[in-house]
A and B are shown apart, each in its own frame.
Chain A
Amino acid sequence: MKYLISISRFKKVLMISILITSSFTGCKKLLDTDRQGGYDASNFPYPGGSGPYDQFIFAAYNDLRSFNVHSQAFISATSIRSDDADKGSTPADGGANAIDMDNFPVAPSNGFINALWIGYYSLISNCNSSIKEVNTNTQVSSTSAVKVQTIAEARFLRAYAYFNLVRFFGKVPLIDTFYTDPAAQNNVPQVPATQTYAFIESDLQFAAANLPAAWDAKFVGRATKGAANGLLAKVYLIQQKWALALAAAGQVVNSGLYSLISYDVLFREEGENSKESVFEVQATASAAIPQNNGVQYAQIQGVRGSGQWDLGWGWNSPSDNLATTAYEAGDPRRARTILFTSTSTVPGPTIYGEVTPVGLPNPRYNNKVYTNPAMRASIGNRFGYWFNLRVLRYADVLLMYAEAANELGNTTEAIEKLELVRARARAGNNTILPAVTTTNQVTLRDAIRRERRVELAMEHDRFWDIVRWGTAQAVLNGVGKTNFNASRDVLLPIPQTQIDLSKGVLVQNPGY
Chain B
Amino acid sequence: MLANFKKLKHVLARFHTVAKGMICLLFIFSTSSGYAQNITVRGKVTGTNGEELAGVSIQVKGTSQGTSTDVNGNFTITTSANATLVFSTIGYSEIEESVGGRSTINVLMTAGAGQQLEQVVVVGYGTQRKRDVTGSISTIKGDDIAKLPATNPIASLQGRVPGLTVSNTGNAGASPVVRIRGVNSTNSASPVYVVDGILQDNIDYLNSSDIESIDVLRDPSSIAIYGLRGANGVIAVTLKKAARGKTRINFQSNVGNQVVHDKISITDAAGFKKLYSAQLSNLNAAPFDYTNYTANTDWQDMVLRKAVITTNNLSISNNGEKSSTYLNLGYTYQQGVLKYDDYKRYMFRLGEEIRISNNFKIGGDITGYHFISNPAAASITNALWAAPIVPIQLNDNTYYSMPSFQRAQVGNPIAALNRNNRNSINKGYRAVGNLFVEYKFLKNLTWKSIVYGDLGYNTGRSYSQLPFSFVNLGEGTAATNTTFDNTARTSVSQSQGESKRFQQDHTLSFDRNLGNGHLINAVAGFTTIYSYGSSVGASRRDTALNIPDNPDLWYIGIVNENNPIFNSGGGSESSSVGSFARVSYSYKNKYLLNGTIRRDGSSKFAPENRWGTFGSVGAGWIVSSESFFDNIKAINFLKLRGAWGLTGNANGFADNLYKPGVSNASTAIFGDNIYTSVQAAYIPDPNLHWETVKGIDVGIDLRAFRNRLNAEVTFYDRTTTDILTAVTLPNDTRSFFTNLGNITNKGIEVSVGWNDKVGKDVTYSISGNFSHNKNIVNSIGDKINFQLTGNGGVNLTTTGQSIGYFFGYTQAGIYQSVADISKQAAFGNSLPGDIAYVDRNGDGAITSADRGYIGTPFPPYSFGGNFSLQYKGVDFLFEGQGFAGHKIYTERRTATFAVLNYESNRLNAWTGAGSNNIEPILDNTRGNNFLMSTYYLEPADFFRIRTLQIGYNFNAKMLRSQHIQNARLFISGQNLKTWSKVTGYSPEPIIGSILGGGADNGSYPVPAVYSVGLNVTF
Q: Do A and B actually bind?
A: yes
Chain A residues with a Cβ under 8 A of chain B: 1-8, 11, 14-15, 18-19, 22-23, 27-28, 30-42, 44, 54-59, 61-62, 65, 89-100, 105, 107-110, 114, 117-118, 121-122, 124-126, 129, 173, 175, 179-180, 182-184, 186-188, 215, 217-222, 273, 282-284, 287-289, 292-293, 304, 306-310, 312-314, 343-344, 357-361, 376-377, 379-382, 483, 496-503, 505, 508
CB within 8 Å for A122 and B283 given contacts A19-B599, A100-B927, A380-B543 = no
Cβ-based interface call for B667 (8 A): yes
Are B789 and A222 closer than 8 Å at their CB atoms?
no
CB distance from A67 to the nearest CB of B (A): 12
In this assembly, does B727 line the interface, its C-beta being within 8 Å of a C-beta of chain A? yes
A33 lies within 8 A of B576 (CB): no
Question: How distant is A134 from chain B, measured CB to nearest CB, in Å?
Answer: 13
Residues from chain B with Cβ under 8 Å of A343 in the complex:
477
Let me know if A92 and B677 touch, CB within 8 A.
Answer: no
Q: Is the CB of B597 within 8 A of A15?
A: yes
What 12 new A-B contacts, CB under 8 Å, besides A35-B656, A37-B569, A284-B669?
A8-B583, A11-B510, A31-B607, A96-B926, A100-B927, A183-B727, A289-B564, A306-B483, A343-B477, A358-B477, A497-B789, A508-B848
Contact present for B670 and A288 (CB under 8 Å): no
Does B786 lie within 8 Å of A186, measured CB to CB? yes
Ranked 5 nearest A-B pairs via Cβ: A307-B483, A359-B478, A95-B896, A36-B571, A96-B927
Given A31-B610, A96-B924, A118-B733; A4-B514 close (CB under 8 Å): yes
Confirm or deny: B673 has a beta carbon within 8 angstroms of a beta carbon on chain A: yes
Evaluate contact between B659 and A35: CB separation under 8 angstroms: yes
A501-B786 in contact (CB<8A)? yes
Known: A41-B662, A306-B407, A501-B789. A358 touches B479 (CB 8 A): yes
CB contact between B570 and one of A37, A124, A288, A377 (< 8 Å): that residue: A37
Cβ–Cβ < 8 Å partners of A314 in chain B: 408
B483 touches A126 (CB 8 A): no
Would you call A288 and B661 a contact (CB within 8 A)? no
Nearest chain-A residue to B923 (Cβ)?
A92
Distance of A483 Cα from B828 Cα, bound (Å): 12
Select one of B17, B668, B828, B925 contacting A99, CB under 8 A.
Answer: B925
B736 within 8 A of A: yes
B522 adjacent to chain A (CB < 8 Å): yes
A109 to B483, CA, bound (A): 39
What number of A-B contacts does a CB cutoff of 8 Å give?
376
Q: A55 touches which one: B13, B512, B543, B677 (CB < 8 A)?
A: B677
Q: Most chain-A Cβ atoms within 10 A of its Cβ — which of B481, B662, B848?
A: B662
Which of A92, A94, A501 interacts with B728 by CB under 8 Å? A501
With A35-B655, A109-B931, A497-B789 already in contact, the answer to whether A2 and B14 are too (CB < 8 A) is yes
Number of residues on chain B facing chain A (CB within 8 A)? 136
Q: Could you say which residues of chain B place their CB within 8 Å of the CB of A498? A: 730-731
For the complex, give the distance between the alpha carbons of A61 and B733 in Å. Answer: 16
Q: Complex: how many Å from CA A36 to CA B530?
A: 14
B603 to A32, Cβ gap below 8 A? yes
B581 partner residues in chain A, CB cutoff 8 A: 15, 18-19
Of the candidates A15, A65, A503, the one whose C-beta lies within 8 Å of that of B524 is A15
Measured CB to CB, the closest approach of chain A to B292, in angstroms, equals 12
A18 CB contacts on chain B under 8 angstroms: 508, 524-526, 579, 581
* Residue pair A126, B679 in contact (C-beta under 8 Å): yes
Given the known A-B contacts A105-B829, A503-B786, are A34 and B662 also in contact in the complex, defined by CB atoms under 8 Å?
A: no
Can you offer 28 A-B residue contacts whose CB atoms are under 8 A? A19-B579, A44-B678, A58-B675, A61-B668, A61-B669, A89-B408, A90-B405, A90-B899, A92-B283, A95-B924, A97-B927, A105-B829, A107-B927, A125-B733, A179-B732, A180-B683, A184-B783, A215-B670, A221-B669, A282-B668, A282-B670, A287-B543, A289-B565, A307-B470, A308-B486, A498-B731, A499-B848, A501-B786
Which B residue sits closest to A291, measured CB to CB? Answer: B565
Nearest CB of A to B536, in Å: 10
Q: How far is the CA of A292 from the CA of B568 in the complex (A)?
A: 15
| Cα of A498 to Cα of B730 in the assembled complex, Å | 7
Report B-chain residues with C-beta under 8 Å of the C-beta of A38: 570, 661-663, 681
Given known contacts A55-B678, A58-B668, A94 and B897 CB-to-CB distance under 8 angstroms: yes
Nearest chain B CB to A63 CB, angstrom units: 8
* Contacts of B403-430 to chain A: CB distance below 8 A: 404-405, 407-409
Nearest chain A CB to B594's CB is how many angstroms away?
Answer: 12
Given A40-B656, A284-B672, A501-B793, verify A129-B679 contact (CB < 8 Å).
yes
Residue numbers in A under 8 Å from B112 (CB-CB) = none
Q: What's the nearest-Cβ distance from chain B to residue A323, in Å?
A: 19
- Tell me how far the C-beta of B921 lies from the nearest C-beta in chain A, rounded to whole angstroms: 12
Residues of B within 8 A of A382 (CB): 485, 487
Binding site for A on B (CB under 8 A): 13-14, 16-18, 20-21, 24, 279-280, 283, 285, 401, 404-405, 407-409, 470, 472, 474-479, 481-489, 508, 510, 512, 514, 518, 520, 522, 524-526, 528, 530, 532, 534, 540-541, 543, 562-565, 569-577, 579, 581, 583, 585, 597, 599, 601-603, 607, 610-611, 655-656, 659-664, 666-681, 683, 727-734, 736, 738, 783-787, 789, 792-793, 796, 807, 828-829, 848, 896-899, 924-928, 930-931
A91 touches B283 (CB 8 A): yes
A40 with B659: CB separation less than 8 A = yes
A125, B682: Cα distance in complex, Å: 12
Q: Are B485 and A307 in contact, with the CB atoms below 8 A?
A: yes
Whether A344 touches B927, Cβ cut-off 8 Å, given contacts A7-B520, A58-B676, is no
| A residues in contact with B898, CB < 8 Å | 90, 92-94
**Given A92-B279, A501-B787, also A56-B679 (CB < 8 A):** yes
Collect the chain B residues with CB atoms within 8 Å of residue A379's CB.
487
The answer to whether A39 and B662 touch across the interface, beta carbons within 8 angstroms, is yes
CA distance A211 to B784 in the complex (A): 38
* Cβ–Cβ < 8 Å partners of B520 in chain A: 4, 7-8, 11
Contacts of B736 in A (CB 8 A): 182-183
| Shortest distance from the beta carbon of A152 to any chain B beta carbon, whole Å | 16
Q: Shortest Cβ distance from A138 into chain B, in angstroms?
A: 14
In the docked arrangement, what's the CA distance between A505 and B730, Å? 11
Are B662 and A37 neighbours in the complex by a CB distance under 8 Å? no
Quick check: A380 and B661 within 8 Å, CB to CB?
A: no
A36 touches B570 (CB 8 A): yes
**Cβ A34 vs Cβ B656 within 8 A:** yes
When chains A and B are docked, how far (Å) is the Cα of A100 from the Cα of B896? 13
Min CB distance, A469 to chain B, in Å? 27
- CB neighbours of B18 from chain A (8 A): 6
Asked if residues A11 and B786 are in contact (CB atoms below 8 Å), the reply is no
Contact of B562 among A58, A288, A306 (CB under 8 A): A288
Q: Which residues of B contact A292 (CB under 8 A)?
A: 667
Check if B476 sits within 8 Å of A31, measured CB to CB.
no
Q: Which of B20, B476, B673 has the most CB of A within 10 A?
A: B673
Please, how many angstroms separate the alpha-carbon atoms of A36 and B927 in the complex? 46
Taking a contact as CB atoms closer than 8 A, the residue among B510, B574, B786, B924 that contacts A502 in the complex is B786
Contacts of A221 in B (CB 8 A): 669-671
Contact assessment for A92 and B405 in the assembled complex, using a CB-CB cutoff below 8 Å:
yes
Measured in the bound complex, the distance between the Cα atoms of B955 and A506 in whole Å is: 77
The distance from the CB of A210 to the nearest CB of chain B, in whole angstroms, is: 19
Q: Known contacts A6-B21, A217-B671; is A41 also within 8 Å of B601 by CB? A: no
A409 to chain B, nearest CB (A): 41
By beta carbon, the residue of chain A nearest B727 is: A183
Residues of B within 8 A of A179 (CB): 683, 732
Which partner residue on chain B sits nearest A344 by CB separation? B477
| A36-B573 in contact (CB<8A) | yes
Output the nearest chain A residue to B602 by Cβ-Cβ distance.
A31
B579 proximity list for chain A (CB < 8 A)? 18-19, 22-23
Contact A288 B564 (CB under 8 A): yes
- Contact flag A500-B789 (CB < 8 Å), given A8-B583, A221-B670: yes
Report the minimal beta-carbon distance from A72 to chain B, rounded to whole angstroms.
10
Please, how many angstroms separate the alpha-carbon atoms of A39 and B532 in the complex?
17
How far is A347 from B64 in the complex, measured between Cα atoms in Å?
93
Inter-chain CA distance A499–B807, complex, in Å, is 14
Contact assessment for A186 and B670 in the assembled complex, using a CB-CB cutoff below 8 Å = no
